[in-house]
Amino acid sequence: ANMPMHPALMPVYDVDLHKGKPFIAMKFVEGASLRGRFRKERRLSIEQVCNIAHCLAGGLDLLHEQGLVHGDINMGNVLIDANDNCILTDFHMTAVAELTTSVLEQELPLAYLPAIPPEGWNRDPLGPQSDVYQFGMLLYELLTGQRPFAEVPQAELHDAVTHLLPPRVSEVVEDLPRQFDPIFVKALAKQPMERYASVGEFVQALRGAWQSYAFETYVYEGEKHHGAKEWDKAIEAYKKASELRPDNQIVNEALKRAERRKQDEIALAKARQSIEKEHWREAENHLSQVSETRERKLLQDLVQRKIQVELLYSQGKVAMHQQELLEAQTLLDQADALEPGYKDVNSLLGQLAEEIESYFRQARQAMANNDTDRALALLEPVADHETAVTIRREIAQKGREPVGMAVSNTASINWKPIAGVALIIVFALAIVFAVNQISENQTPDVTAQPTTNATEAVEVEVEETAPVVEETAVPTTIPTPSIVDLENCLAEKNVQILLNGRQYSGNDSIVLLREVVDFEIELGTGGCEIPSNRLRYRLVTVTEPAPPFQDAPILSYQPPTDVLSDIALVNLMIEGGDYVRSIALNLNFDE
């Protein structure tokens, strides 16, 4: 036999007659017929049917290209081998065409009679479209589980096959796609020319309709499972849809979203577990892997607030341990504002308030005892507190009060040193007046004398020890020295005071002048201008001082009465050129 070679075609070795009857000798294949499998499963899936159709179509088309026709396509003539491959057997070729006649002449109805095409009933020659019809009947039965016209009596079968259309497949089985109906109408058309030109064209139309239906079904299932947050099922459905149409961007994006939502759900579950355990940093890490959603935003706000509260709480406790009381109070206040009642924050804030108030009470007590240094030292840990600022102002104001107001019993003043100071003042002024008079009576020769003579220092020697004066000789009208002029100058000239390596300025300088004994005052550029012929003086406090650092370098200073009770001597040295560069004040007190 001149049979083409194809995996779906059973090889035929011989066709002949035996005792007047035709026979076909073919290759033996170990397996079962499609009819046997169908009886077990009864109805195959659309995917299985399409695969069987695709497997057989190539062999039939090759057979038709060789001018051959099978003529007897049914489930019994399709074998399935051990590898699940479909093989078409029992060919009804021209060499055994008399089989059709013998079949038609039989009086008893046969099971395969409905599969005979209309042209076979009319005894017309069979062609490739006849195989298309029979192949359509085979697939119809596989999909619906029944043959067309199976219940029609044999006497009416000829008329039904040649004139009636079989029921639509979607009417026989409701879950079959309606797209199949027109395909089977064409494949089972009464006229051969109205059928598909080839089995391959028929199968291609069927697979196309199935893929379109399957694609829409998978997309629908994916959306349904996505809405129910059944991520695994949604992913499976979208993957099947993507396999059918790999280039469909809508499906591919839906698949990515479902996979991302699944990962989000896993990360959110882990984040919730961490939140329950109060592992805030761990929860924050899990939430960072979640897409932007409202739930993620709410959880993230909660976790970040918890982290911030925990940080403020720990920093506040450290500040308390380091006696940074105001810093600790600020940190714990912020923690309490973020989460009221957090741990023992309220208790700690109460402790801080009590400790801070204790500093204020002790500072006020020191003020009452005229212990300014101790009061200021006590205020140092809480220096920025509003109450501390108020107390410092009270200390400064108290330092500005006249000595007479600070001393309750004037009779206790020792007038001997003051009388000595007064005598020294009078003596020094007399010498200065005499020197000035001599200078005015002489006519200086400008060309003969060097200009450096005008800058020679004039030094007034003052005895270290004040003369002893009888107490009865001390005038009772000696005025009390004042520091008002000094304070005004410091405030106007922005004086910088260097004390133990720390600089002070403005009002701080004035306060310090009331409290310290040894210090230096630095005047920058634009300081008080001093005539060059008045460079070196040694003065004591005077009754009515001129404005300091202008026409004459006269300085008044009164130390705090709680530091010492008597003034011995004030030394003022002005050095430099036309501008004051530095002033050194040295206070010496009696033992």
Reading the block at residue 246, the tokens are 């790999």
pLDDT recorded at residue 535? 26
Phi, psi torsion values for 559, nearest 5 degrees: -70, 160
Q: pTM, whole model, 2 decimals?
A: 0.50
Cα–Cα distance measured from residue 208 to residue 206, given in angstroms and rounded to the nearest whole number: 5
Helices 280-287, 249-276: crossing angle, 10 deg rounding = 180
**What are the phi and psi torsion angles at 177 (to 5°)?**
-65, 140
- Return all residues near 190 (Cβ < 8 A) that are at least 6 apart: 118, 162, 163
> Side-chain half-sphere of 147: how many Cα atoms within 13 Å?
23
C-alpha dihedral sign at 404, 410, 413, 416: positive
Token duo for residue 316: 């506040």
What is d(CA 155, CA 109) in angstroms, rounded to the nearest whole number?
Answer: 9
- List the domains of the chain with CATH numbers: 12-105+115-197 (1.10.510.10), 326-406 (no CATH), 410-439+453-588 (no CATH)
CA distance 35 to 44: 12
In this prediction, residue 2 carries a pLDDT of 64
Q: Supply 530's token pair.
A: 């001093």
Question: How many residues are present in the chain?
Answer: 591
Inter-residue contact 382 to 359 (CB < 8 Å): yes
Nearest to 57 by CA among 17, 10, 8: 8
What is the separation, in whole angstroms, between the first and last Cα of the chain? 146
Cα–Cα distances in angstroms (integers) from residue 554 to residues 347, 537, 539, 546, in the given order: 59, 9, 7, 6
Neighbours of 352 (CB within 10 A): 20
- Give me the pLDDT at residue 70, please: 87
pLDDT score recorded for residue 460:
37
8 Å CB contact between 101 and 126: no
State whether the Cα torsion 141-144-148-151 is positive or negative: positive
Q: What angle do CA 39, 40, 43 make, to 5 degrees?
A: 75
Amino acid at 365: Q
List alpha helices for 173-287, DSSP H: 180-187, 199-227, 231-244, 249-276, 280-287
Two tokens, residue 558: 């009164």
Q: Count CA atoms closer than 13 A to 65's CA, side-chain side.
A: 11
> Any idea what DSSP says for residue 96?
G
- Tens of each residue's pLDDT in the chain, 591 residues: 467 888 888 887 777 787 777 777 778 777 788 888 888 877 788 888 999 999 999 999 998 998 888 888 888 889 988 788 888 887 654 444 444 444 444 443 445 566 788 888 888 888 999 999 999 999 999 999 888 887 788 778 888 888 888 899 999 998 899 999 999 999 999 999 999 999 999 999 999 999 999 999 999 999 999 999 999 999 999 999 999 899 999 999 999 999 999 999 999 999 999 999 989 999 999 999 988 888 889 999 999 999 999 999 999 999 999 999 999 999 999 999 999 988 999 999 999 999 999 999 999 998 889 888 898 998 888 888 989 899 888 888 877 655 443 333 333 445 455 555 555 665 556 565 555 555 555 444 443 444 333 333 333 343 344 444 444 443 333 333 334 444 444 444 444 544 444 554 545 444 444 433 333 343 333 333 333 333 222 222 323 333 343 343 334 434 344 433 333 333 333 333 333 333 333 333 333
Cα–Cα dist 441/458, whole Å: 18
